[in-house]
Amino acid sequence: MLVKEELNRYTRQMILPELGLAGQEKLKAASILVIGAGGLGCPVLQYLAAAGIGQMGIVDNDVVELSNLHRQILYNHMDVGQPKAKVATEKLALLNPHVQLSAYHERFMANNAVSICEAYDIVIDCSDNFTTRYLVNDTCVSLGKTLIFGSILQFEGQVAVFNHQGGPNYRDLYPAPPTENINCIEGGVIGILPGIVGLYMANEAIKLTCGIGETLAGKLMTINALNNTVLVFNLAKEKPTKIVKAETTVNTAKEIDKATLSQWLSESTDEIFLIDVRESYEHEENNIGGINLPLYELRESFSTIPKNKKVVCYCQTGQRSKMAVQLLAGLYEGKVYSLTGSLS
């Protein structure tokens, strides 16, 4: 039941016919766990607390650093050296005293994952490493929890809703971790990007909680803040049997490493067709040959790709090239591979 102060606090969003009083009460009854109180976690936490989510958990074992402050605007220079989960909890309590907050100043690991997640309706992954992402995903699958995922690097972000009502999970998009983990420390990130991506994640949490709108369940949204490109891809849930996989080889991201590509090129360059799926400015700065077809141009240009060659897609880290292979699934009949690892 909403008290008088809450009715006044949330009045601007409650007048939305899609939300109303019933939707606001659903938000108050909801419990959401946010894993990571960094670049993505800050906007997610701030806007969900402001929206009136009743119970929120914050998992982060890190402390605030000076290099965080250009993008993690929940904190300021006075917070440097303090535990993020503790500081975030204190500041969110000031933002909205009607939200019940729990801080977990510990690393999200296999021995505590289930006990932390099981009390919450929705889990939001704002982590910055693949080890945690796969653990969060696998824990949500085992518990039947909906997972909202986000990631950022340089000028690009991704948002998806996984494991919702039996839909695809993170491993359906990325079956296994990459051999190299390039994060914001090595690759850099523009400060406003986590704000953009984090707000989309918070918006998905509100829609899922209230049962309104069209969500990103079974979809992947990519955002490029440098050229203002926003794309949404449909994700396929992996089939459980090897027979089905064998019949639909382009539906999974077949991967090869640099050594295999070098061997193929040494045997016959005429049989290999390289596609750099990065942006044009990245291709101009550094590439290993072939043509440049940014990810968002693949669907319109797949008819120009030769079907009698081995097509190898590549990017900076191997992540966009995996998406390229999935994007071509069902459209392109030839053999397509994703090059793993970093170009550097």
pLDDT at 83: 97
Which residues make up the CATH 3.40.250.10 domain(s) of the chain? 242-339
Would you say 196 and 189 are in contact if contact means Cβ atoms under 8 Å apart?
Answer: no
Burial grade of 24 (CB within 10 A; 0-12, 13-18, 19 or more): buried
Phi/psi for 104 (5° steps) reads -115, 95
Provide mean pLDDT across the span 107-136: 94
Which residues make up the CATH 3.40.50.720 domain(s) of the chain? 4-234
Identify the weakest region by mean pLDDT among 196-210, 244-258, 290-304, 313-327: 244-258
Asked if the model's pLDDT at residue 344 lies above 70, the reply is: no
In this predicted model, which residue has the larger pLDDT, 130 or 96?
A: 96
Name residue 152's beta-bridge partners. Answer: 157
Which architecture, in CATH terms, is 4-234?
A: 3-Layer(aba) Sandwich (3.40)
Provide mean pLDDT across the span 64-89: 95
pLDDT at 331: 72
Q: What's the CA angle centered on 64, arms 222 and 183, to 5 degrees? A: 35
Task: Give the model confidence (pLDDT) of 261-319 as tens digits.
Answer: 999 998 887 889 999 998 888 888 889 999 999 887 887 787 888 888 889 999 988 87
User: Residue 59's closest CA among 77, 81, 41, 47?
Assistant: 41
Asked if the model's pLDDT at residue 247 lies above 70, the reply is: no
pLDDT at 249: 31
Q: What's the CA angle centered on 63, arms 59 and 67, to 5 degrees? A: 120
Task: Give the model confidence (pLDDT) of 29-69 as tens digits.
Answer: 999 999 999 999 999 999 999 999 999 999 999 999 999 99
Domain 242-339: CATH class, spelled out: alpha beta
pLDDT at 340: 86
In this predicted model, which residue has the larger pLDDT, 253 or 290?
A: 290
